């Protein structure tokens, strides 16, 4: 009498092939979902920076708008001052050690004077095409703007205003 003592090599190969086929279908969808989440996080972080800029301007009208470093604050507890407004997360203010936050690099540029009128614009660009499909910028008008693909980040306030307003 012959007894089965396990699976045959063919049966094991068929199971492995099925698992690999399922993985080949699922992994690209997982990566696309991760990219969409990183894009959404970048838009949310741009809104956070805009709110921080408004708060910084209200707290220090003589200075105007601030840079990311001025909006953040590393001390615990954070004590607001001109150099550290304690208005945004310090990981966002420092770009998490230069590696970006959620796969994006952020920057805020302030400009203008009390005479000409203070302005700012802020940008978010994906570190690579593995993290996002869009670049974002926002200015003191409070509108989040988007550029699909990987164009050069806007180099000026006026260039940011030319990007397409986002629906977020």
pLDDT at 168: 61
Task: Quote the Cα angle for 138-141-147, to 5°.
Answer: 30
Query: What is the pLDDT, as a whole number, of residue 164?
Result: 92
Q: What is the pLDDT of residue 98?
A: 53
pLDDT single digits (tens) 62-73: 888 999 999 998
List, for residues 73-98, the tens digit of each pLDDT value. 887 888 898 889 999 988 888 875 45
Q: pTM, whole model, 2 decimals?
A: 0.82
Nearest to 126 by CA among 137, 118, 134: 134
Answer yes or no: is pLDDT of 149 > 60: yes
Cβ atoms 167, 141 nearer than 8 A: no
Segment 47-63 mean pLDDT: 92
14: pLDDT strictly greater than 80: yes
Which of 25-39, 45-59, 145-159 has the least mean pLDDT? Answer: 145-159
Looking at per-residue pLDDT, the higher value among 69 and 117 belongs to 69
Confidence at residue 154, expressed as pLDDT on a 0 to 100 scale? 83
3-state DSSP helix/strand/coil percent for the chain, to nearest 5?
40, 20, 45
Grouping H, G, I as helix, E, B as strand and the rest as coil, residue 15 is helix
Average pLDDT, the chain: 87
The residues that bridge with 121 in the sheet, in sequence order, are 109, 139
Whole-number pLDDT of residue 96 = 54
Taking CA atoms, 106 is separated from 4, 29, 43, 56, 123, in Å, by 62, 27, 11, 17, 6
pLDDT for res 4: 67
Q: Where are the alpha helices (DSSP H) in 6-67?
A: 9-59
Whether 154 contacts 160, CB under 8 Å: yes
Cα dihedral 95/159/130/167 (nearest 10): 100
Give the separation between CA 80 and CA 86, rounded to whole angstroms.
5
For residue 37, with 0-12 CB atoms within 10 Å meaning exposed, 13-18 middle and 19 or more buried, which class applies? middle
Q: Residue 64: phi, psi to the nearest 5? A: 95, -145
């Amino acid at each position: 009498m012959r007894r089965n003592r396990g699976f045959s090599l063919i049966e094991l190969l068929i199971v492995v092939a099925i698992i690999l086929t399922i993985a080949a279908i699922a992994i690209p969808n997982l990566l696309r979902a991760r990219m969409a989440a990183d894009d959404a996080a970048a838009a949310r972080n741009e809104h956070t920076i805009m709110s921080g800029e408004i708060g910084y301007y209200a707290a220090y009208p003589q200075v105007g708008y601030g840079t990311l470093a001025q909006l953040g604050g590393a001390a615990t507890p954070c004590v607001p001052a001109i150099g550290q407004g304690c208005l945004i997360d310090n990981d966002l203010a420092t770009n998490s050690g230069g590696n970006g936050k959620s796969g994006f690099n952020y920057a805020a540029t302030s400009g203008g004077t009390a005479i000409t009128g203070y302005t700012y614009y802020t940008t978010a660009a994906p570190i690579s095409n593995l993290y996002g499909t869009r670049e974002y910028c926002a200015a003191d008008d409070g509108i989040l703007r988007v550029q699909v693909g990987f164009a050069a980040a806007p180099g000026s306030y006026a260039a940011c205003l030319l990007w397409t307003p986002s629906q977020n």
